[in-house]
């Protein structure tokens, strides 16, 4: 079970949803993430970047120690833990902000909860590790359930596929006894989808509205934002902000980004106009 202050952080994060665009800052402690791999591998660098994300206004910091970019090399739980142990506890103790752990491994999620995270961000929506749902329930964590596929099938109706996937993930969550109030859905932009399917997922977020759960979108710096035929790294900050504003219009509530300050500024204008 959570320490009381971690329960408070979890509930603080959840209480923001629907009141404002919630900003999840990205901290990749990886050598091979697509845009910032290797930058924050040392505990000192990770700490400094975590502090900067908080100073820039992030509502929660998502820590990842295994790259999930297309073509990534999976790593064992032992290696994830070796990357986490030197820095995660120091981060959660020094910053009064909720943290999430980007992992699909129950063992890593359990240890991260012991080190102070409040949320599991599972890119396989409880469907990769059969122990994940029970681990989240036992630790009292909130969870992001992301849609994913082992490969791309261009013939799919991607919205129907997302719904089928989420039905299964929510069945697993219900079986473990996780309250729906602690669950968030993520359409998995850039995961197991071609360019057209990624754009269709973003355009049809409202098709997930009947689940009654918040939607998180993670498009930050992804190559699908580049012009067709452009270099894969032609994603630019303005493209990310444009995609997130469109996602907000379509119903997204939480935004996983590398650049919190710029998004907060953009959302202030967006919110003023929307109101």
First to last CA, the chain: 40
Contact (CB, 8 A) for 146 and 123: yes
Rounded CA separation 263/28 (Å)? 19
Query: For this structure, is 228 an active site residue?
Result: no
Query: For this structure, is 256 an active site residue?
Result: yes
Catalytic residue (choose from 105, 221, 222, 239)? 222
Q: Report the catalytic residues.
A: 222, 256
């Amino acid at each position: 079970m959570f320490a009381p202050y971690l329960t408070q952080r979890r509930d603080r994060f959840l209480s923001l949803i629907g009141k404002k665009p919630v900003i999840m800052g990205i901290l990749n402690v990886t050598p091979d993430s697509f845009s910032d791999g290797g930058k924050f591998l040392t505990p000192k660098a990770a700490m400094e970047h975590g502090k900067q994300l908080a100073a820039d206004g992030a509502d929660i910091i998502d820590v990842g120690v295994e790259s999930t970019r297309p073509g990534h090399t999976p790593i064992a739980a032992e290696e994830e833990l070796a990357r986490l142990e030197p820095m995660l506890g120091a981060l959660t103790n020094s910053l009064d902000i909720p943290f999430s752990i980007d992992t699909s491994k129950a063992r890593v999620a359990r240890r991260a909860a012991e080190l102070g995270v409040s949320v599991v961000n599972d890119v396989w929506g409880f469907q990769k590790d059969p122990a994940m749902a029970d681990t989240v329930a036992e630790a009292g964590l909130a969870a992001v359930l992301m849609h994913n596929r082992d490969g791309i099938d261009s013939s799919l109706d991607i919205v129907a596929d997302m719904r089928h996937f989420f039905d299964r993930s929510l069945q697993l969550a219900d079986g473990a006894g996780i309250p729906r109030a602690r669950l968030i859905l993520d359409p998995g932009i850039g995961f197991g989808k071609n360019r057209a399917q990624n754009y269709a997922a973003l355009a049809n977020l409202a098709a997930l509205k009947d689940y009654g759960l918040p939607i998180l979108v993670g498009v930050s710096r992804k190559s699908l934002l580049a012009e067709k035929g452009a270099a894969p790294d032609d994603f630019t900050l303005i493209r990310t902000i444009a995609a997130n504003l469109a996602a907000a219009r379509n119903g997204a509530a939480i935004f996983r980004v590398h650049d919190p300050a710029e998004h907060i500024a953009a959302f202030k204008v967006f919110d003023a106009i929307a109101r």
